[in-house]
Amino acid sequence: MNTPVLTAHALTKRYGTHPALTEATLDIPAGRIVGLVGPNGAGKSTLLALAAGLIRPTSGHIEVLGRKPAADAEQLARVGFVAQDTPVYAGLSVADHLKLGEHLNPTWDKQFAADRIKQIGLDPAKQAGRLSGGQRAQLALTIAAAKRPELLIFDEPVAALDPLARRAFLQNLMEFVAEIDVSVILSSHLISDVERVCDHLIILAESRVQVAGEIDDLTAGHYRLVAPRGTLTDLPDGVDLIAADHTDRQTTLIVHNTNPTPLAISGAEPIGLEDMVLTYLHRAEGTTAPTLEETRA
């Protein structure tokens, strides 16, 4: 369990001249549930496909569970990947899917798969094309988990689901994690879901990793500072300015304290996960870096 689940160094993927992922450097410990957030086109699917070994990097290095992604059959068996919209074979029945899984995966856990299908309440004879979105997602999750991987990768597993189906899917996923000791990487637009199920976060925007780390560390390290304009002229060492808003009277700063000690500035308020994510996404969109004193013409 001590091998990191994913390490990347200057990982880059370009399609022609279009950068899909630029110099991503990551180190994710094992046993985490990792949330990958960012706007559409930020590079989330590219990063997940690189981790699953579906595509090769243009440059840089990536290792998953200590080895090159999809290096051989053994490595493939260690990683379960569920693509966007949880695809299944519409013409095949639920039972056919399980049979297929059993034939294609040397580590298939038949009992586990049968138990889960029963617990979710899926009819084995039903064609997958006739399942609801939520049931289809549950089937895809069961198949990915029944191969007993060490890492499960999901590309926006809940994006198309209604709130009830979404919650049911996450409950099921968390039960798997509690039961089979697996690391998870999932991308999502729903910060509240990420806050609920994830303990590690990667924010991607404009093809770059904006920030990554343990969620509790990140939320404890980000603060909002509000002060009369002109009074916040200097920040302590190790405190990064992420965003600055100036009105004629007031300055509002979002800062990231990278020191191990709490931030000792009066008036500093912790910010929630959602505000923190949005701050990074806004910053990535902006063209100029924030400054402590706004210069006006």
Partner 1 sequence: MIDFYLEPRSGVAPYMQLVHQVQQALRLGMLTTGDQLPTVKQVVAKIAINPNTVLKAYRELERQGLVAPKPGRGTFVTATLAGEDLTAQAALAGELAAWITKARGAGLDDEAIEAVFTTTLRKAQQEQP
Alpha-carbon span 129 to 177, nearest angstrom: 27
Q: Tell me, what DSSP letter sits at residue 293?
A: S
* Span 23-52, contacts to partner 1 by CB under 8 A: 31-33
As measured in angstroms, the least distance from the Cβ of 180 to partner 1 is 11
Q: Which of 104, 262, 285, 294 is in the footprint of partner 1 by CB under 8 A?
A: 262
**Cβ atoms of residues 259 and 235 within 8 Å:** no
Q: With binding defined as CB under 8 A, does residue 272 bind partner 1? A: yes
What SS3 state is found at 112?
helix
As measured in angstroms, the least distance from the Cβ of 212 to partner 1 is 17
For residues 50 and 182, which CB has a smaller minimum distance to partner 1 in the complex? 182
**Residue 88 contacts by C-beta under 8 Å, 6 or more apart in sequence?**
97, 128, 129, 131, 136, 139, 140
Alpha-carbon span 102 to 255, nearest angstrom: 51
As measured in angstroms, the least distance from the Cβ of 281 to partner 1 is 19
As measured in angstroms, the least distance from the Cβ of 94 to partner 1 is 22
As measured in angstroms, the least distance from the Cβ of 164 to partner 1 is 12
- The total of other beta-carbon atoms located within 10 Å of residue 263's CB is 20
Q: With binding defined as CB under 8 A, does residue 258 bind partner 1? A: no
Q: 79 is written with which tokens?
A: 């990683």
For the CA atoms of the chain, what is the radius of gyration? 22
For residues 76 and 170, which CB has a smaller minimum distance to partner 1 in the complex? 170
* Span 114-143, contacts to partner 1 by CB under 8 A: none
Q: With binding defined as CB under 8 A, does residue 236 bind partner 1? A: no
Cα within 13 Å of Cα(246), Cβ side: 13
Alpha-carbon span 127 to 118, nearest angstrom: 16
What SS3 state is found at 213?
strand
As measured in angstroms, the least distance from the Cβ of 3 to partner 1 is 18
For residues 100 and 190, which CB has a smaller minimum distance to partner 1 in the complex? 190
Alpha-carbon span 107 to 174, nearest angstrom: 21
For residues 21 and 276, which CB has a smaller minimum distance to partner 1 in the complex? 276
Alpha-carbon span 20 to 42, nearest angstrom: 7
Q: With binding defined as CB under 8 A, does residue 70 bind partner 1? A: no
* Span 160-219, contacts to partner 1 by CB under 8 A: 167, 170-171, 173-175, 177-179, 192, 195-199, 216, 219
**Cβ atoms of residues 17 and 203 within 8 Å:** no
As measured in angstroms, the least distance from the Cβ of 26 to partner 1 is 19
For residues 34 and 146, which CB has a smaller minimum distance to partner 1 in the complex? 34
Binding site for partner 1 (CB under 8 A): 31-33, 167, 170-171, 173-175, 177-179, 192, 195-199, 216, 219, 262, 270, 272
